[in-house]
Amino acid sequence: MALKTLIIDDDPVVVLMLQILTQQIKLDSESQSFENGLLALQYLNTQYNKEDVYFIFLDIHMPVMNGWEFLLELTHFADPKNTFVCIVTSSTDMSDELKATQNPLVAEYLIKPIYKENLLEFIKLSSKKYKNYPESEDV
Protein backbone atom coordinates (compact mmCIF):
# COMPACT_ATOMS: atom_id res chain seq x y z
CA MET A 1 0.00 0.00 0.00
CA ALA A 2 1.29 3.43 -0.99
CA LEU A 3 0.10 6.84 0.11
CA LYS A 4 -0.56 9.25 -2.76
CA THR A 5 -1.29 12.94 -2.35
CA LEU A 6 -2.79 14.88 -5.24
CA ILE A 7 -3.15 18.65 -5.29
CA ILE A 8 -5.56 19.87 -7.96
CA ASP A 9 -5.56 23.65 -8.20
CA ASP A 10 -4.83 26.21 -10.90
CA ASP A 11 -3.18 28.64 -8.47
CA PRO A 12 0.56 27.88 -8.23
CA VAL A 13 0.81 29.67 -4.87
CA VAL A 14 -1.86 27.41 -3.36
CA VAL A 15 -0.18 24.35 -4.85
CA LEU A 16 3.19 25.33 -3.36
CA MET A 17 1.61 26.08 0.01
CA LEU A 18 -0.15 22.69 0.10
CA GLN A 19 3.04 20.90 -0.96
CA ILE A 20 4.94 22.53 1.90
CA LEU A 21 2.19 21.78 4.42
CA THR A 22 1.86 18.13 3.40
CA GLN A 23 5.62 17.77 3.84
CA GLN A 24 5.55 19.51 7.23
CA ILE A 25 2.93 17.14 8.61
CA LYS A 26 4.76 14.22 7.00
CA LEU A 27 1.73 13.23 4.97
CA ASP A 28 3.61 12.92 1.69
CA SER A 29 7.00 14.21 0.60
CA GLU A 30 6.25 13.68 -3.09
CA SER A 31 2.76 14.97 -3.83
CA GLN A 32 1.52 15.21 -7.41
CA SER A 33 0.01 18.49 -8.59
CA PHE A 34 -2.36 19.22 -11.47
CA GLU A 35 -3.65 22.56 -12.73
CA ASN A 36 -7.10 21.21 -13.60
CA GLY A 37 -9.35 18.25 -13.02
CA LEU A 38 -8.85 16.76 -16.47
CA LEU A 39 -5.09 16.32 -15.99
CA ALA A 40 -5.66 14.75 -12.58
CA LEU A 41 -8.35 12.46 -13.97
CA GLN A 42 -6.07 11.32 -16.80
CA TYR A 43 -3.40 10.50 -14.23
CA LEU A 44 -5.82 8.59 -12.00
CA ASN A 45 -7.37 6.69 -14.91
CA THR A 46 -3.98 5.08 -15.53
CA GLN A 47 -2.52 5.01 -12.01
CA TYR A 48 -5.42 4.42 -9.59
CA ASN A 49 -4.92 1.33 -7.46
CA LYS A 50 -7.48 0.24 -4.85
CA GLU A 51 -4.61 -0.97 -2.67
CA ASP A 52 -3.19 2.56 -2.38
CA VAL A 53 -4.53 5.42 -0.26
CA TYR A 54 -5.31 8.77 -1.90
CA PHE A 55 -5.54 12.18 -0.29
CA ILE A 56 -6.85 14.65 -2.86
CA PHE A 57 -6.85 18.40 -2.25
CA LEU A 58 -9.30 19.78 -4.79
CA ASP A 59 -10.17 23.32 -5.86
CA ILE A 60 -13.68 23.85 -7.21
CA HIS A 61 -13.16 26.66 -9.73
CA MET A 62 -10.59 25.74 -12.39
CA PRO A 63 -10.36 25.94 -16.17
CA VAL A 64 -10.81 22.93 -18.50
CA MET A 65 -12.45 20.66 -15.88
CA ASN A 66 -13.62 22.13 -12.59
CA GLY A 67 -13.68 20.36 -9.25
CA TRP A 68 -17.33 19.29 -9.48
CA GLU A 69 -16.81 17.72 -12.92
CA PHE A 70 -13.70 15.96 -11.62
CA LEU A 71 -15.57 14.59 -8.59
CA LEU A 72 -18.38 13.30 -10.77
CA GLU A 73 -15.93 11.32 -12.91
CA LEU A 74 -13.90 10.19 -9.90
CA THR A 75 -16.96 8.63 -8.23
CA HIS A 76 -17.22 6.18 -11.16
CA PHE A 77 -14.10 4.30 -10.09
CA ALA A 78 -12.74 5.58 -6.76
CA ASP A 79 -13.47 3.81 -3.49
CA PRO A 80 -14.44 5.92 -0.44
CA LYS A 81 -12.50 3.47 1.72
CA ASN A 82 -9.17 4.56 0.26
CA THR A 83 -9.88 7.92 -1.42
CA PHE A 84 -10.28 11.03 0.72
CA VAL A 85 -11.08 14.36 -0.94
CA CYS A 86 -10.61 17.68 0.78
CA ILE A 87 -12.26 20.55 -1.08
CA VAL A 88 -9.94 23.56 -0.84
CA THR A 89 -11.74 26.61 -2.18
CA SER A 90 -12.24 30.33 -1.95
CA SER A 91 -15.99 29.80 -2.36
CA THR A 92 -18.08 30.80 0.64
CA ASP A 93 -21.28 29.77 -1.12
CA MET A 94 -23.23 27.49 1.24
CA SER A 95 -24.62 25.54 -1.73
CA ASP A 96 -21.05 24.50 -2.62
CA GLU A 97 -20.47 23.23 0.90
CA LEU A 98 -23.78 21.36 0.87
CA LYS A 99 -22.95 19.81 -2.51
CA ALA A 100 -19.57 18.69 -1.14
CA THR A 101 -21.14 16.95 1.86
CA GLN A 102 -23.36 14.94 -0.47
CA ASN A 103 -20.41 13.30 -2.21
CA PRO A 104 -19.17 10.12 -0.49
CA LEU A 105 -15.55 10.85 -1.41
CA VAL A 106 -15.48 14.30 0.21
CA ALA A 107 -14.19 14.14 3.77
CA GLU A 108 -13.65 17.88 4.35
CA TYR A 109 -14.52 21.30 2.94
CA LEU A 110 -11.98 24.05 3.67
CA ILE A 111 -12.00 27.70 2.70
CA LYS A 112 -8.68 29.23 1.67
CA PRO A 113 -6.23 30.08 3.10
CA ILE A 114 -5.33 26.68 4.49
CA TYR A 115 -3.17 26.18 7.56
CA LYS A 116 -1.32 23.22 9.00
CA GLU A 117 -4.05 22.78 11.62
CA ASN A 118 -6.66 22.46 8.84
CA LEU A 119 -4.74 19.60 7.24
CA LEU A 120 -4.24 17.85 10.55
CA GLU A 121 -7.99 18.07 11.21
CA PHE A 122 -8.69 16.61 7.75
CA ILE A 123 -6.38 13.67 8.52
CA LYS A 124 -8.04 13.12 11.91
CA LEU A 125 -11.54 13.22 10.41
CA SER A 126 -10.53 10.76 7.71
CA SER A 127 -8.91 8.43 10.21
CA LYS A 128 -12.05 8.34 12.37
CA LYS A 129 -14.23 7.73 9.34
CA TYR A 130 -12.16 5.14 7.47
CA LYS A 131 -9.11 3.83 9.40
CA ASN A 132 -7.54 2.25 6.29
CA TYR A 133 -4.39 4.30 5.86
CA PRO A 134 -1.20 5.08 7.76
CA GLU A 135 -1.54 8.10 10.04
CA SER A 136 0.77 11.10 9.95
CA GLU A 137 3.16 11.31 12.92
CA ASP A 138 1.65 14.69 13.82
CA VAL A 139 -1.91 13.34 14.07
Q: Is 120 exposed, middle or buried (0-12, 13-18, 19+ CB in 10 A)?
A: middle
CA distances (Å), origin 106, targets 20, 58, 64, 95: 22, 10, 21, 15
CA distances (Å), origin 48, targets 5, 67, 74, 77, 113: 12, 18, 10, 9, 29
User: Domains of the chain (ranges plus CATH)?
Assistant: 3-116 (3.40.50.2300)
Tell me the pLDDT tens digit for each residue of 26-73. Answer: 887 789 999 999 999 999 999 999 998 899 999 999 999 999 999 999
Q: Is 75 left (phi over 0), alpha (psi -120 to 50) or beta?
A: alpha
The whole model's pTM is what? 0.88
User: What is the rounded average pLDDT for all residues in the chain?
Assistant: 88
